[in-house]
Structures are given as structure tokens and as C-alpha cells.
Structure 1
Amino acid sequence: MEFNRQNLESSLKAGRKSRYLPFSLHIFESVCSTNQTLWDLLAQGAEAGSVVIATQQTAGRGQWGRQWVSPSGGLYLSVAIAPKIEATDSYQLTLASAWGVAWQLRKCGVSVGIKWPNDLVLNNRKLGGILTETKVNKGKITQAVIGVGINWTNPVPKTGINLESWQTSQHSSPISCLEMLTSKVLLGIESGIECLFQEGISILLPRYLDLLTNIGDQVYVNNLSGIVVGVTPQGNLRVDLETHDTNELIKPEIYVEPGTISLGYSKSSV
């Protein structure tokens, strides 16, 4: 699949109200991993705002060391930022990016939601995901790479969905081409990161929760049943444990770290 830089630059220019990130575009047909390629560029002197884009990854990375299957026809991109935030707040970068990308796509008419902590969902199936990697010095994040993968025309598993097939089912094409999708993702990352750093997590988090599909879900943590009620500013899932004590007015709440439990996907389309 051939990528048209001029179309991307035109789409970015048309939709961009902010210049918060100084995008410097590096476009490839195929890379091992856009995150790794961007880390390599940073080691060679590339600066914050650098972007690596590809339509195929041969060794894509997912959360917690998992492989991210990245066949041709998808959108895979990574953006470098220099956030200068506490290492303990690193998940805020993922929350910001997930909200920003989902919000940009929703503005176009694509009804994207967020599945905790970092998946983009459409019709209860996985449209894409986000992987944030960081470098830390003295407890502060000095560099971060935010990687986003979106299913465009590529084949997907039963729990996934690609944007082209969804648009066909809707008899509508709010996203007309890969370059437009790329611009929306980049603008989404920019708007999410700008919201986080200019307005703060207290503004960003409610926006993230508005698009979270897991509120009210029943989950099991260490064989205890609970209901998802929110997310903490550090990205942990807030779960109210179910209790059989009718005298207990306040249900005990626990915080579940990302990677501790899997919320899963239904294998049937909805």
C-alpha cells in the first residue's frame, strides 16, 4: 500500500488548530516496529515531535511484551514527546492519547470508544491500540514514544474490526483514505497530550471516562466479584467489590493495575 505524504500534509494542515507538537514525518512502507524505529531516530538526534509512520510492521510490540500482529493495510505510527512528568504518572500519556484519538474519530462520525486501559473499540470489537514506552531519569520521564495501531483495510481476528469494513456496513465513509486517518490519529495524540499538559489530569480524566466502555462491567479480581466504576489518575481501574453485607453502606473499592486482569472481547459482532 502506497502512502501519499502530500495528502497527509494537506489533511493535517486543514484540520490542525494547534501547533503543540512540531510534527516531523518519517514515512516507511514497512518497519520492524514504529516504536523501535523512532527510538533509533531519537538516538541519532531526532527531537520531540518526530513521527514514524508505516503500513506494516514485521515485529510490532503490544502491551506487556506481547506481539502486535501488524499486517499490511493497517496504520502503525509512533510519536516522540518529552513530557518531563513523574514516572509514576506515565499511564497518563496513554489515557491522553486514547481519549484524543477516539475524540477525533468521533468528531468525524466514527463511534469509537475506549476499552481500559489502551484499546480503541468499535461495535464492541478492537479497532486499535496504544503502546507508550518511556525513558526515565531520576524519577522523571525524559522521553516517551507513543505508538498507535489502527485497523484500516488489514485482516483482523474475530475480536477485531477494521475501519473499512465498518464504513461499508454503515454505507458511509467519514474517513476517506489512509492519509486522512493518519492525520486524525496525529491530531488526536496532539490534542490529548495538550489537554493533559495545559489543563491537567483533572480535566482529561473525565473526558476519558466519558468514552470508556467498561463502566458498569462485572469483573473478577482474585476470585472476588466487582463492578467497574472508574479509573484513577494513574490509570488503575476502580472496582467496587460486591458484598453480601446489607448493613454495609459503602462498598469496598479496590484499584487494579493495568495488566493485572484482562477485560476481554466478545467473539461475536454486536
Structure 2
Amino acid sequence: MKKISFLFLTLLALTAACNSGEKPVEKREGKTAERRIISLSGSVTEIIYAVGSEKELVGIDVTSTYPAVAEKLPNLGHVRKLAIESLLALNPSHVVMLEDEVSPDLKSKLKQAKIELITFKHPNSVEGAKYLVKEVAAWLGKADESAPIVTQINSDVRKISKPDKKPKVLFVYARGAGTLMVAGENTPLEKMIVLAGGENAGKGFTDFKPLTSESVIAANPDVILMFTSGAQSLGPDGIFHVPGVAATNAGKNKALIQMDGQLLSGFGPRVAEALMELNKEFKKIK
């Protein structure tokens, strides 16, 4: 699996944990027999809830937005801006996260604090989502509970059919008008667009790059795809006021698809739900 870049991880974050001054890492005291888990992945958090192990969770990261009840747990912010002191304060026995997101610094500090780090591979595909579900469930001792989830994914994926017209789709990440990025090749967003029956309009570059009027006109997407939070940050119809967008097919037809960020890009247990929703929207494009 191609490594998801630091840039995408930063873009996906809805907020960032404060980076306070570094202090020496303290060892955990009084390790309890029960498992106390901090999840630093929204997809892993979803699976923990889906298999009924949520009582073992004591903390989450910023991408853990589903189910909504998870947001009642202490939030440690973005994994790349994690304050180790805040993590240690929750007295975890285990920290779980995706393999590609582990920094050497975090790994070292967890080892020093004698906290077990559990990592999972996570290919950005339907098969990768099913693999993650099974692996996380097995680690939790809930292997049997993963079977219905995988069965549902398979069933839902079979319901997806190609749209009559393959739309050209441009994913735009926004945090207000000052931060506008478009998704290129080999990104999780491109994978979702293609799996749902569309064509990524972001060609000729990998990862993300700043949106410019010239590039968006050249891409000429049939529809703009955005996280709901990003679209809202621009205001009503704000994306269509961005220079260049009005000249595209998407701009002329006011074609915009908004989806929850974790649902769209998480490749977790709801991956088929996300694909079905996106596929349904693609079929509406004229």
C-alpha cells in the first residue's frame, strides 16, 4: 500500500491538539489488569464500537468522529501533534493506530512509558477495509463479531452499479477560503471516486496541491466533491465563488457533493455505505 502522506493526515484533521512544551516522559504507574485503549484512528475507533468493545476505550484522536458517542471521550487531537503528557494522563495499557501513521518519536515515548503500541495495516480499498475489520476484531478477541460486518460490506458493494455517464470529479479540501487543496492521484479520495464509478479530475500530480483558477478550469470537473465541514467553511454556495470554478461544468450546473469526512475517506466498516452514497450522487450528474 502506498503510504498516505503527512499532508493528507493533516488535511483530514478537523482540529489539532495543542503542542505544549516537551517534558520528560514518565513511566506508567499501577498498570491495571483491564485493557485501557487509546485509539488514534477514526477507522479503528469505529470497529471497536462495531464489535462491542467500546468500554475498553479511554481516549480517541481527532478523526474519531463516529459513532457520535465516541466524541464524549477525551480527545487527544491529531496524531501528528500529539501531546504525550495528555496521553499518559489517561493511563492507557494500549495505543492502537494505523501502521503508516506511527512516528519514531511516538513509538519511542510509548516504549519508554511501557505502553503497548498496536498497529494495523490499512490498504485503501474495500478489501483493505474488510481486512482491517477482521484484524482489529481478532485483536480484541471479537473475531466472530467481525463476520456480520464483512458480510454487510460484501452485500452493499454488490448493490453498486456504474452510472450511465462516468463523471469527472474534483475533490476539494477547504478550511475557509484561505486553504483550498485538490486531491490528485494515489490519494484515498481518488480511490473512493473510482470505486464509486467516477473519474478523478485531479490528474498529473500525486497527493494534494493548492487549487488555482487555471488548474480547476483545465480539470473541468462535472462535479465538486467536498467534506461537509469544508463546504460549510466557505459559506452557502461558497465553492462556486472560488476563481475558476464558475467556468467549469460543475460550476455552470452548481454540481456539488458533500459528505462526512470520516465516512468518505476512512475506509472503515462503513466503506460500502460511503460508496453507495457517492455512487447514488454520481448517477444524478447530467
Shared fold per TM-score greater than 0.5:
no
Q: TM-score, normalised by structure 2?
A: 0.23
User: Which structure has the larger Rg over C-alpha atoms?
Assistant: 2
- What TM-score do the two structures reach when normalised by structure 1? 0.24
Where is the strand percentage greater, Structure 1 or Structure 2? 1
